[in-house]
Structure formats: structure tokens, C-alpha cells
């Protein structure tokens, strides 16, 4: 069903050709949006892959959020601004800490500074991470629980959150922070685990390769299908909120890591689960069990995730079978 409130909204999406951004664009168009601008660091084959098959044309611009001058005019006259541009991965961020800081920290600050100059009324939505909580002492985790980031990536995500809340307080910006768990589904890079372990496991299983599980694999994780995420992202751009609000965004269901891996092998019909000892660096950044409390976000936006894990895996596998180009490694 079309959402009449979307038709006249001018929407700007940083990281528009990536996993979250491209799926949101497809979802927005399906629900009636017609004025969408996708910003990507580079117009390359990922744009062709993820933003093909759109039912209406969109604006695709090349800009880097690390440089304020490249983006300061892009925010003008926009009603909703999403920031999905990110440098991902706990281990990856440890290896490239300053690049991670530039994108996840400075990039968010640049967007906010641009909005102070050119657009103080837009809803600004920042995708943070469940990793800002670090190792938790109880489940499910509430938004009011302590934050204790345990790696470079989550430290810089929390930095982005602090910028968002500060600029809301200082300048009245209409900011919203979403602490996302583990999204999966179509249009995510499948060949690198840092972009999403579940999709990476699907890729390995479809190649008939081993799915590597560190330790006993009994740690709990929350996985959420991308269509459920996209639905919430649309709602979060439209509903009235208290500026600076923070919400957990996940399915609210805990799944043992090894059970997820076994489900992937069973649904794909190939691949094997292989347990190995924890590599030292991975062990150091491992956060243990995590399941979010999603009661606040559910009541605020009248939203609940509807896609069970195994259904989501099946949908993702079917998408790959009908779009085999998504298994190709991009340069």
C-alpha cells in the first residue's frame, strides 16, 4: 500500500548504494516516494547492482562525507536525511582506525554541521550499532543500559551518537539514533564477513565451503531481515519524536550463532559447519550474548518485525538464485 505521506517528502540518503541504503530506496519507491537523492562515495558497479530495477528514477550523486564542502549543499531543502555511510567491522576498524574515525565520526559531524548551516528542520537519522553496549550483564538490553564500547568501530559509532545528541541540544536539530543489531538480506556484499556474517555464511554455503564457527558457537545474536529494517526506517522518518531519541533496532529474538549457521547449511543444501578455536583478535573484540529489548521502538512507531529467521534466509537464498550477479566480487 502506498504511503501518501511519502509522496511529497524530499529524501537524502548518504550511503545510498550500500546494503541499507539501496534496500530502503527500493522500499521507499514501492511505498510511494518520488523525490529521492542517493549519495555514494563513488559511482561504480555497486550502484549498478544495488540500484537497478527501480520503478522510478532517482538522483544519484557522488560525494564523500569525510569532506564537508562536498556535502554541505546537498542537505538543503531535504525533509528526511539518512546516514548509512560507514566503515564497518570490529576487526577491520582496529586495522584502519583513522579511516574508521573519518567516516563514522567526522562524517556524521560534517552532516550535522551542514544541517546547521543549510537545513535545521530535517529529520536526521543515524544508524548506530548494538556494539556500543559492549559486553552486557543482562538480557534483553534496554536503551538505558550502560554503554561500554569494546572496539574502534563501536567507539566511533558512539561518538556519532554524541554528536547527534549534542547538535540536537545546541541547535535544535531533529535527530534520531537507531542502534541496529545484525541485518541481513538481499543487496549486501556476500563475500566479506565484515559486512554481515549471516550473508557471508550464505555465500560460503552456496559455494559448498565450510562455515567457520569460533569456539562453541553458543553465543546469542539478534538477526533482523532487511525488509523489517526498511519498514521501520520509513516510519522513523515520518513520526514525531523527541529530538535526540535513541532506539534499539532488532528482531528482539536471540539465536545461537551455531544454530544460525546450521540453518543456513540446511536451507542452502550445501556447506558444512566447522568449529575452530577463537583467533586472538576476534576473541578480544567478542561481546558475548546480545538480545535487544525492542519494546520502545515497537510502541513508538507501531512497528514489529514480521520475518522469522529461517524465512529471511530462504528469501535471501532465493534472491541470489534469481540475481546471481550478486555473488560476484566487486572491485
Position 277 in a domain: no
pLDDT(91) > 90: no
Asked if residue 89 is part of any domain, the answer here is: yes
Establish if 32 belongs to a structural domain.
yes
Asked, for residue 241, whether it belongs to a domain, the answer is yes
Give the tens place of pLDDT for each residue, 180-211: 999 999 998 776 666 689 999 999 999 999 99
pLDDT band of 42, cuts 50, 70, 90? confident
CB of 80 closer than 8 Å to CB of 125: yes
Residue 11, SS3? Answer: strand
Give how many domains the chain has, as a whole number: 1
Asked whether residue 1 carries a pLDDT value surpassing 60, the answer given is: no
Residue 321 CB partners (closer than 8 Å, separation 6+):
none
Q: How many whole angstroms separate alpha carbon 248 and alpha carbon 291?
A: 10
% of the chain residues with pLDDT over 70: 97
Task: Please tell me the predicted confidence (pLDDT) of residue 331.
Answer: 47
Contact 210, 204 (CB under 8 A): yes
Owning domain of residue 124: 10-187+224-252+290-307
- Residue 204: inside a domain: no
Joined grid coordinates for residue 152: 574502534
Sign of CA dihedral 177, 181, 186, 192: positive
Q: What is this structure's pTM?
A: 0.95
Can you spell out the DSSP letters for 264-320? HHHHHT--EEEEEPPPHHHHHH------B--HHHHHHHT------HHHHHHHHHHHH
Cβ neighbour number for residue 324 with a 10 Å cutoff: 9
Q: With respect to residue 257, please indicate whether it lies within any of the assigned structural domains.
A: no
SS3 (DSSP) at 36: strand
Q: What 3-state class would DSSP assign to 330?
A: coil
Helix, strand, or coil (residue 40): strand
In a domain, 72, yes or no: yes
For the stretch 226-277, pLDDT in tens is 999 999 999 999 999 999 999 999 999 999 999 999 999 999 999 999 999 9
* Contact call for residues 118 and 72 (beta carbons, < 8 A): yes
Measure the CA–CA gap between 184 and 64, rounded to whole angstroms: 25
Domain-located, residue 235: yes
Domain of 232: which CATH number?
3.40.50.720
Find the length of the chain.
331
**The pLDDT value given to residue 88:** 82
Say which residue, 286 or 139, is predicted with more confidence: 139
* Cα-based angle 34, 125, 118 (whole degrees, multiple of 5): 75
Please give the pLDDT value at position 330: 53
Q: What is the mean pLDDT of the chain?
A: 94
Contact between 70 and 114 under an 8 Å Cβ cutoff? The reply is no
Check pLDDT > 70 for residue 119. Answer: yes
Amino acid at each position: 500500500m502506498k504511503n501518501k505521506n511519502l509522496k511529497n517528502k524530499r529524501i537524502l540518503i548518504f550511503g545510498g548504494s550500500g546494503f541499507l541504503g539501496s534496500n530502503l530506496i527500493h522500499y521507499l519507491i514501492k511505498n510511494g516516494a518520488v523525490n529521492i537523492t542517493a549519495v555514494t562515495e563513488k559511482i561504480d558497479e555497486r550502484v549498478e547492482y544495488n540500484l537497478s530495477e527501480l520503478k522510478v528514477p532517482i538522483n544519484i550523486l557522488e560525494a564523500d562525507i569525510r569532506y564537508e564542502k562536498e556535502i554541505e549543499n546537498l542537505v538543503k531543502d531535504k525533509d528526511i536525511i539518512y546516514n548509512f555511510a560507514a566503515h564497518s567491522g570490529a576487526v577491520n576498524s582496529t586495522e584502519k582506525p583513522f579511516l574508521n574515525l573519518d567516516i563514522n565520526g567526522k562524517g556524521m559531524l560534517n552532516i550535522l554541521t551542514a544541517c546547521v548551516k543549510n537545513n535545521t528542520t530535517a529529520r536526521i537519522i543515524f544508524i548506530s550499532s548494538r556494539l556500543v553496549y559492549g559486553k552486557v550483564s543482562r538480557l534483553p538490553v534496554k536503551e538505558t543500559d550502560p554503554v561500554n564500547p569494546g572496539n574502534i568501530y563501536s567507539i566511533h559509532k558512539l561518538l556519532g551518537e554524541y554528536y547527534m545528541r549534542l547538535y540536537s541540544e545546541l541547535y535544535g536539530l531533529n535527530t534520531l539514533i537507531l542502534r541496529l543489531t545484525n541485518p541481513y538480506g538481499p543487496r549486501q556484499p556476500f563475500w566479506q564477513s565484515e559486512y554481515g556474517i549471516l550473508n557471508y555464511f550464505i555465500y560460503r554455503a552456496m559455494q559448498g565451503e565450510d562455515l567457520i564457527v569460533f569456539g562453541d558457537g553458543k553465543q546469542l545474536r539478534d538477526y533482523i531481515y532487511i525488509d523489517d529494517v526498511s519498514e521501520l526506517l520509513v516510519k522513523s522518518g515520518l513520526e514525531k519524536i523527541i529530538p535526540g531519541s535513541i532506539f534499539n533496532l532488532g528482531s528482539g529474538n536471540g539465536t545461537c550463532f551455531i544454530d544460525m549457521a546450521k540453518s543456513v547449511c540446511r536451507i542452502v543444501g550445501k556447506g558444512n559447519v566447522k568449529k575452530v578455536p577463537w583467533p586472538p583478535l576476534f576473541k578480544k573484540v567478542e561481546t558475548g550474548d546480545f538480545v535487544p529489548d525492542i519494546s520502545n521502538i515497537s510502541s513508538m512507531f507501531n512497528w514489529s518485525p514480521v520475518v522469522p529467521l529461517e524465512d529471511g534466509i530462504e528469501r535471501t537464498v532465493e534472491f541470489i538464485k534469481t540475481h546471481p550477479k550478486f555473488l560476484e566480487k566487486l572491485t
